[in-house]
Structure 1
Amino acid sequence: MGAENTAFAAHFSGKSYLKMLTGRGVNIANVTFSPACRNDWHIHCRGGQISLVTGGREYYRAWGEPAQELRPGDVVNIPPDVKHWHGAAPDSWFSHLAVEVPADGGATEWLEPVDG
């Protein structure tokens, strides 16, 4: 599960945990959200992200679209520059492998908190 995600705590509405699995070539992290925790709207600039749901129930929402409920085994390919958020269901933990698609100048841009 990893250690409490203090480095990015300002961008999460509850407790999350982070364990970097690799940073060589492709950044892959195991990110775990406590029940009802979600992160702020954000954009993966240039490279995008692949989210592999490994546990619990997740909600994923891209800007302008309804939230999707995801379960273990579900995969979301998030194109570059798509504003979105991830979060755990109110009654469930949620874990995913967050795979950053490599790109020159790729970065995560954190935006505003999610309303409601």
Structure 2
Amino acid sequence: MSNSTNIPQTPASTKRAAAENFIGTAWVTMLAGANLTDCTVGDVTFEPGARNNWHSHPAGQILVVTAGVGYYQEKGQPAQRLRVGDAVTIAPGVVHWHGAASDSLFTHLAINPNVSQGVANWLEPVTDEEYQAAHG
């Protein structure tokens, strides 16, 4: 079968997320890389209770929830409970975290535009107290 669009086809590969930026286990499958555009799209699955560290994105990020239940929280704001079909638009430079509820897997697409500006600025871990408060 020919590829009439001449777009290189590469199989997606799933890798464990970097332990230094996550509490618990999360898996990332890159669906679109910056080699074709200045945007990446990753399919990220968090095991129950897993979350990423506080971080920001120089060019912002869009999250689209595809499975499970999770949370998104901006520094200084209450956490938002997320379910399938929810989407979050994160402005450039906004410090936040996201991850799974304690009793559910959580999967979202992470869309990162303008990655030539950088993908993420990783900060400190989300404490157990901060995580538990999200469930309140």
| TM-score, normalization by structure 1 | 0.92
How many angstroms does 1:102 deviate by? 1.4
Q: What's the C-alpha RMSD, in Å, of the aligned pairs?
A: 1.6
- In 1, distance between residues paired with 2:57 and 2:15? 22
Is contact 2:63-2:88 (8 Å) kept?
yes
Aligned residues: 114
How many angstroms does 1:5 deviate by? 1.4
Is contact 1:4-1:15 (8 Å) kept?
no
SS in 1 for 2:117: coil
- In 1, distance between residues paired with 2:95 and 2:82? 18
Instruction: Find the structure with the greater CA-based Rg.
Output: 2
Q: Which of the numbers 61, 79, 87 marks the counterpart of 1:75?
A: 87
Aligned partner of 2:21 in structure 1 is 11
SS in 1 for 2:52: coil
Aligned partner of 1:101 in structure 2 is 113
Alignment of 1:82-93 (within 5 A): 82-93=94-105
- In 2, distance between residues paired with 1:32 and 1:81? 23
Q: Does residue 80 of structure 2 align to residue 50 of structure 1?
A: no
Is contact 1:2-1:17 (8 Å) kept?
no
Is contact 2:40-2:115 (8 Å) kept?
no
- Which structure has the higher relative contact order (CA within 8 Å, separation 6+)? 1
Relative to 1, partners in 2 of residues 1:103 and 1:13: Cα closer, same or farther, differing over 3 Å? closer
- In 1, distance between residues paired with 2:15 and 2:24? 11
| TM-score, normalization by structure 2 | 0.79
What letter matches 1:77 in structure 2? T
Q: Does residue 80 of structure 2 align to residue 65 of structure 1?
A: no
Extract unaligned runs of 5+ from structure 1.
none
- In 2, distance between residues paired with 1:74 and 1:10? 27
- In 2, distance between residues paired with 1:14 and 1:98? 18
Extract unaligned runs of 5+ from structure 2.
1-11, 129-136
Q: Does residue 32 of structure 2 align to residue 22 of structure 1?
A: yes
Higher helix share goes to which structure? 2
Q: Percent same amino acid among aligned pairs? A: 46
SS in 1 for 2:51: coil
Aligned partner of 2:47 in structure 1 is 34
